[in-house]
């Protein structure tokens, strides 16, 4: 067979293990961890599906090695408790039986351990342990690890490594990056010790080397040991790539695979998990440079989801292995689609951070484009319907498309009607924003999957009450979405106003100065793009906060971008749109303040004041079939995540 991506599909031998391809699944902390730190069955199923999806290796994340000093957060595994070996063995087994190699990440959070989360007194009485005595920015006290404790931690790594091997793991990943304990020792930003663990580069590498030696002693020769490091800490006081190369050289004799990531969590998530504002593969240069200085195989990671790009990385020798985290949350079958030359079916990660945000907020997993996430235990095989039904889907946005795709996979006879000439619904507006282009392309991918599953798609066809009755569907899914909210503000119907949803069709009409009227997620993202185009942008928002609808992980990164590209005016209510801009009232100014009213200047005004459900259309269709389900924005204005999730479940219920 001639493979489209031969280098990605090529086996690689690391230590004495051969991995059947070079696409590895990166550590992604589980959410189903028992209270005493064992891998729960849902997490096992999560890892198993990444193996079934074809990854060469699947890394089980964040196994804590020394609970005494790393009380840590709720998702850490604790191998010291009863049952942990059984849970780990079942998980390694679940991965191994699909041909992927199970790997276990061993970590210690050091001064950033979240022991306060496991502190039952909630008094923040437990302290953290790091290289030196210090107080963290959040006020938590850190104590310097004594040499006795260092020795205990080192030997704990060895003990846990032995247990992991016993459980059936075929590789171990020692986490030495992202600002955790080993990274804290490597970095002179964190490490000010004056003993043999601090000062010179050799001394700062000592802890890592002692740990690697202890692990080697436990697992024996030939067993692959991987070391994850940040190639550069990517902030001024941290270590840079040049020092990263020298660290790699120090560690090389003790490892079989060097995994080069970037940044530290303590500076935000945008470097460790490259955001949509960064280029895909933005860390590859770090791996490529380090690879020139070492002879062990090198892995790269960070925003990778395009097989052509990943193929080039391996083919050109920039790295030997590519790791993916979010791309395999979005589509666990990505590696298999690559090996089977079905790359056009890959559902790409949008880097929207829903996965990271949901874990932090609700301790669950969610993914915008993959509704099965977190519930892999229920099985990813689509159950065929007992009776083939005639299904009509009204609306070709993401929810409607996913509902149609799922219903067709169940064997139903599915027709999807879209009123407009192009499918995609609200996703169409994303095509103007390069950093959200994948969100726009999502509709095309869902369309392709739906059509291959047998869905008939009729564009330019509106589902009215009469149409639905005539069609005679057994099941009707109403996915007609929402429409922009344009309140009766004087001048908002003027020629100089562009509704944000239509910006993609009107970008060439936008003048050099712009007022973006509305600072929700859509307004903020449009403002960033206009700023990137060199326009002078004023962003006006009545509330005192921008983008409250953005997730807690995306929002801080979004705000950083906005600050670069727009002048922000929160607490300003737009009163009237004129040819010169938007007349606003400062809601915090006293009545007699002469600056209470101010004109935000702009030749063009972008109206980004929110969306409203198409409730009139919805109510006209509610009797359109024996089974009716309203999904997505048509039910309640919300996220693409919810639209896709509801579409999937509506189709499963038919």
DSSP state of 40: P
* Structure token pair of residue 276: 């949509």
Q: By CB under 6 A, tell whether 57 contacts ligand FMN.
A: no
Residues 6+ apart with CB under 8 A from 612: 482, 483, 484, 485, 637
CA-CA-CA-CA dihedral for 120, 121, 122, 123, to nearest 10: -150
Q: Counting contacts by CB under 6 A, is residue 303 touching ligand FMN? A: yes
Contact 258, 334 (CB under 8 A): no
Length of the chain: 654
Q: Which stretch, 242-250, 319-327, 431-439, 548-556, contacts ligand FMN (CB under 6 A)?
A: 319-327
Q: And the tokens for 158?
A: 């060895």
Contact between 270 and ligand FMN by CB under 6 A: the answer reads no
Residue closer to ligand FMN by CB (options 305, 646) is 305
Indicate whether 29 belongs to the interface with ligand FMN (CB under 6 A): yes
CA angle, corner 101, sides to 215 and 294, nearest 5?
Answer: 55
# residues contacting ligand FMN (CB under 6 A): 23
**Helices in 122-230 by DSSP H: which ranges?**
147-167, 181-186, 201-204, 206-219
| Chosen residue from 8, 14, 23, 26 binding ligand FMN by CB under 6 A | 26
DSSP letter for 27, please.
P
Note whether 273 binds ligand FMN by CB under 6 A. Answer: yes
Residue 301 in the binding site for ligand FMN (CB under 6 A): yes
Piece of 296-304, 417-425, 453-461, 579-587 that binds ligand FMN (CB under 6 A)? 296-304
Q: Which range of residues in 64-72, 270-278, 420-428, 601-609 is near ligand FMN by CB under 6 A?
A: 270-278
Cβ nearer to ligand FMN, comparing 74 with 201: 74
Neighbours of 158 (CB within 10 A): 19
Toward ligand FMN, which CB reaches closer, 26 or 288?
A: 26
175: contact with ligand FMN by CB under 6 A:
yes
Residues 338-367 that bind ligand FMN (CB under 6 A): 355-356, 359
Q: Does residue 607 interact with ligand FMN by CB under 6 A? A: no
How many CB atoms within 10 Å of residue 323?
30
DSSP 265-321: GGG-STTTTT-TTS-TTTTHHHHHHHHTT-SS-EEE-SS---HHHHHHHHHTTS-SE
* Parallel, antiparallel or unpaired: strands 23-25 and 321-324: parallel
Q: Which residue's CB is nearer to ligand FMN, number 27 or number 531? A: 27
Tokens coding 643: 């639209």
Closest contact distance (angstroms) between CB of 576 and ligand FMN is 45
Which range, of 41-49, 267-275, 306-314, 545-553, touches ligand FMN by CB under 6 A?
267-275
Minimum CB separation of residue 274 from ligand FMN in Å reads 5
**In this chain, which stretch among 233-241, 266-274, 456-464, 579-587 interacts with ligand FMN, using CB under 6 A?**
266-274
Residues that bind ligand FMN (CB under 6 A): 26-29, 61-62, 105, 175, 261, 272-274, 301-304, 324-327, 355-356, 359
């Amino acid at each position: 067979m001639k493979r489209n991506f031969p280098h990605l599909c090529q086996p690689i031998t690391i230590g004495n293990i051969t991995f059947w391809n070079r696409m590895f699944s990166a550590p992604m902390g589980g959410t189903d961890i028992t209270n005493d730190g064992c891998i729960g069955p849902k997490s096992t199923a999560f890892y198993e599906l990444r193996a079934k999806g074809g990854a060469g290796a699947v890394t089980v994340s964040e196994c804590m090695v020394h609970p005494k000093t790393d009380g840590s957060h709720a998702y850490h595994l604790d191998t010291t408790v009863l049952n942990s070996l059984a849970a780990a063995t079942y998980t390694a087994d679940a991965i191994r039986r699909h041909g992927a190699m199970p790997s276990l990440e061993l970590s210690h959070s050091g001064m950033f351990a979240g022991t306060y989360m496991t502190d039952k007194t909630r008094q923040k009485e437990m302290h953290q342990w790091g290289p030196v005595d210090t107080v963290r920015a959040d006020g938590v006290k850190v104590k310097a690890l004594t040499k006795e404790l260092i020795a205990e931690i080192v030997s704990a790594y060895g003990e846990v490594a032995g247990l992991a091997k016993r459980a059936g793991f075929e590789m171990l990943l020692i986490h030495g990056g992202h600002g955790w304990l080993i990274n804290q020792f490597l970095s002179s930003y964190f490490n000010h010790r004056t003993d043999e663990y601090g000062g010179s580069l050799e001394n700062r590498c000592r802890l890592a080397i002692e740990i690697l030696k202890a692990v080697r002693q436990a697992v024996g020769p030939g067993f692959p040991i991987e070391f994850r490091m940040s190639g550069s800490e990517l902030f001024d006081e941290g270590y840079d790539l040049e020092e990263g190369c020298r660290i790699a050289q120090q560690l090389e004799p003790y490892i079989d695979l060097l995994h080069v990531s970037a940044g530290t969590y303590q500076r935000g998530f945008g470097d460790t998990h490259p955001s949509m504002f960064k280029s895909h593969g933005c860390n590859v240069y770090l791996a490529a440079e380090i690879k020139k200085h070492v002879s062990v195989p090198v892995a790269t990671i960070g925003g990778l989801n395009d097989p052509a790009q990943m193929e080039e990385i391996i083919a050109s020798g920039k790295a030997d292995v590519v790791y993916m985290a979010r791309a395999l949350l979005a589509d666990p079958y990505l590696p298999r689609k690559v090996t089977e030359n079905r790359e056009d079916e890959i559902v790409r990660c949008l880097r929207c951070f829903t996965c990271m945000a949901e874990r932090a907020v609700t301790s669950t997993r969610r993914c915008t484009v993959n509704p099965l996430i977190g519930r892999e235990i229920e099985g990813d095989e689509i159950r065929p319907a007992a009776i083939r039904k005639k299904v009509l889907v009204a609306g070709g946005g993401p929810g409607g498309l996913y509902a149609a795709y799922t219903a067709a996979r169940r064997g139903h006879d599915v027709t999807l009607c879209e009123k407009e000439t192009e499918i995609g619904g609200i996703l169409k507006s994303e095509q103007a924003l390069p950093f959200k282009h994948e969100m726009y392309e999502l509709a095309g991918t869902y369309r392709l999957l739906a059509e291959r599953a047998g869905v008939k798609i009729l564009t330019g066809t509106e589902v009215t009450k009469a149409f639905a009755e005539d069609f005679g569907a057994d099941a009707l899914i109403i996915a007609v979405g929402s429409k922009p909210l344009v309140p009766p503000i004087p001048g908002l119907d003027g020629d100089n106003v562009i509704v944000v949803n239509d910006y993609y069709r009107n970008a060439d009409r936008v003048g050099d100065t712009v007022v973006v009227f509305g600072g929700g997620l859509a307004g903020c993202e449009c403002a960033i793009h206009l700023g990137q185009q060199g326009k002078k942008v004023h962003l006006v928002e009545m509330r005192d906060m921008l983008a409250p609808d953005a997730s807690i992980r995306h929002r801080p990164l979004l705000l950083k971008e906005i600050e670069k590209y727009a002048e922000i005016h929160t607490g300003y209510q737009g009163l009237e749109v004129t040819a010169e801009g938007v007349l606003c009232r400062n809601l915090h100014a006293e009545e007699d303040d002469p600056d209470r009213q101010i004109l935000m200047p702009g030749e063009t005004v972008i109206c980004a004041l929110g969306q409203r459900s198409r409730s009139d259309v919805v109510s006209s269709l509610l009797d359109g079939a024996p089974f009716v389900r309203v999904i997505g924005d048509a039910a309640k204005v919300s996220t693409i995540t919810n639209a896709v999730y509801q579409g999937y479940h509506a189709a499963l219920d038919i």
